[in-house]
Structure 1
Amino acid sequence: MQSTSGNSTLIIIPAWNEGASIEAVVKDLRSSLPDVDVLVVDDGSTDDTAAVAGAAGAKVVQLPYNLGVGGARRLGYVYARNYGYQIAVQFDADGQHQSSSIPALIAGLEEADLVIGARFAGAGEYRASGPRWWAMSLFSFVISRQARTRLTDTTSGLRVCNRDLIEYFARWYPVEYLADTIDTLVRVIKAGYTVRQVPVVMQPRIGGVPSTSPLKSVPYLVRAVFVLLLAYIRE
């Protein structure tokens, strides 16, 4: 099956109540990468996210209720599989990811099945601290050893994958928070796929409410360790 526009690359953007930022994100992608399709998966939003995204030039699919970012991404991969896309790009709706990073990530697929846009690999000034940094450091240490390559940002949501992994993620992609980044990495490495990273620069979110805060940092650390352990003991 061919893609609906003839393009081979699909950018998947999960969005929940991102009406304040989604227009700018979609318009930037359509302007910077006119030969790439943009799909916004509206994750049960109660605002005008879907309408704004469609008016800005994105393809839009809507979930009837909020599944979380993992569930929205899985629907995006099902769409990519069903319409024959060869490359899928995970991208955020809040404006922190930059469209200029995408060509280098796609180029990385020449030697990998999954390429991560890494915030802590020498580009930009993004910083994390406290329990979140401890968790990220633990993830990077453990998963880098398994992948046999240095991965500095294993929780990054900016990723690019090839057709084989589009098929894989369309069949299986975790809905749970954190599992959608950590569990997917552990699973694909266990399955024999190659993972690499490319340094990227992040920018401040355009609008909306951040999902992280100091009060959430300790529960984040506890949940993160649990998710990592679960990822390794699952068959």
Structure 2
Amino acid sequence: MTDDKRENPTVAVVIPCYNEALTVAKVVQDFRRVLPDADIYVFDNASTDDTARCALAAGAMVIPVAAKGKGNVVRSMFRDVDADVVLMVDGDDTYPADAALLMLEDVIAGRADMVVGTRLESHDDASFRRFHGFGNKLVRWSIGWLIGSPIRDVLSGYRAFSRRFVESMPVLSRGFEIETEMTVFALTSGFLITERTVAYGVRPEGSHSKLNTFRDGARVMRTIFFLFKDMRPLLFFSCLAALSIIVGLLCGLVVLSEFTATGLVTRPSTAVLAVAFTLTGIISLATGLILDTVNRRSSEILRLITDQLVSTKHSDSRGSGGSAATRARQAAALEGQ
């Protein structure tokens, strides 16, 4: 980000919502108070209540997303919103708007591409449903063991992103596993991540979480597994190769010890298994090496394309007066005069 952009960055607050009519207006008003110059978008994910109407009445720009699932909403956010910094917050009024400037600080200063609002150090006893705290720890441990450099709150919905991150990330998830995907993508792609401790509140009476503990938990763990395979193929296939070769050697030792003692091989099936497991290990290792090379080249190409795209958008926004939403408000103000 250039010095000019750091001094006057365009900021967008994006709020994914599904049936949050009870809280969305307050969330919009709170963030408008703290960030008066920011564009505030509510992405209405096929709500069946008055979420869209309440958001419009509060002054937000409402963008409908027909495909259900938070991942689909984030994909629309990253595609449709044009800003130097994007601040994502849930529409359930559990995250404090007063922490917004703190969340934006590192991204604006160029010290981070993603800032995560960590809830685990400051929350009410009723903030997390049963097993949610354990699930967060399990996800954090899994990512730390498989990928390294774990963050404290992998599943936080309060995050700030740089333009580079938004333009780089190909959103694949459809549901609540999107936070895990963003975290793993940032860690494996070399993006800078920082965390800020934020207070996590309790949903108001009548508001209910859309997260299914076991179904969405299983999706999160599956996402970690496949992202590990896709983004760290050499480590993934090396583990498979090591396991296969060890089993093959153990089977081979049984056959070899028998042959040494008797001069006979009375267990041909064990010999076949030894050869099969060893060959599987060698093939797995070769697969990992090939995919790692392909993955590195793909990442380099993606980085180059992203850098060029971000640079072009910076130039366009300087020449045209900012984001599309900002220009629309300026045009409306001129018409009113």
Give the Å deviation of 1:15.
0.9
Give the Å deviation of 1:147.
5.2
Alpha carbons of structure 1 residues 124 and 218: separation in structure 2 relative to 1, 3 Å: closer
8 Å Cα contact 2:34/2:100 also seen in 1: no
TM-score (norm: length of structure 1): 0.83
The DSSP-based 3-state class of the residue aligned with 2:14 is: strand
CA distance, structure 2, for counterparts of residue 33 and residue 192 of structure 1: 29
Letter in 1 for 2:42: V
Is the aligned partner of 1:54 residue 2:56?
A: yes
CA distance, structure 2, for counterparts of residue 27 and residue 219 of structure 1: 33
Q: 224, 227, 230: which one pairs with 1:228?
A: 224
Q: 155, 174, 192: which one pairs with 1:176?
A: 174
Letter in 1 for 2:138: L
What are the ranges of 5 or more consecutive residues in structure 2 without an aligned counterpart? 1-7, 232-337
Give the Å deviation of 1:24.
1.1
| Rg (Cα) greater in structure | 2
The DSSP-based 3-state class of the residue aligned with 1:204 is: coil
Alignment of 1:50-199 (within 5 A): 50-63=52-65, 65-80=66-81, 83=82, 85-109=83-107, 110=109, 111-120=111-120, 122-125=121-124, 128=128, 131-144=131-144, 146=147, 148=149, 151-169=151-169, 172-199=170-197
Which structure shows the higher helix fraction?
A: 2
1:17 is matched with 19
TM-score (norm: length of structure 2): 0.60
Give the Å deviation of 1:130.
5.5
CA distance, structure 2, for counterparts of residue 57 and residue 173 of structure 1: 28
Deviations 1:181-208 (A, max 9, x none): 1112111211111112110101112353
Give the Å deviation of 1:131.
3.9
Give the Å deviation of 1:50.
1.1
Letter in 2 for 1:86: D
Letter in 1 for 2:61: K
CA distance, structure 2, for counterparts of residue 175 and residue 218 of structure 1: 17
CA distance, structure 2, for counterparts of residue 19 and residue 70 of structure 1: 20
Give the Å deviation of 1:223.
3.3
Alpha carbons of structure 1 residues 143 and 201: separation in structure 2 relative to 1, 3 Å: same
| Worse-matched range after superposition: 223-232 or 100-109 | 223-232
8 Å Cα contact 2:173/2:181 also seen in 1: no
8 Å Cα contact 1:10/1:39 also seen in 2: yes
Equivalent pairs, count: 219
CA distance, structure 2, for counterparts of residue 204 and residue 104 of structure 1: 21
CA distance, structure 2, for counterparts of residue 26 and residue 93 of structure 1: 8
CA distance, structure 2, for counterparts of residue 11 and residue 23 of structure 1: 14
8 Å Cα contact 2:155/2:179 also seen in 1: yes
Q: Percent identity?
A: 23
The DSSP-based 3-state class of the residue aligned with 1:14 is: strand
CA distance, structure 1, for counterparts of residue 178 and residue 78 of structure 2: 13
2:201 is matched with 203
Give the Å deviation of 1:132.
2.9
What are the ranges of 5 or more consecutive residues in structure 1 without an aligned counterpart? 1-5
The Cα RMSD (Å) is 2.2
The DSSP-based 3-state class of the residue aligned with 2:178 is: coil
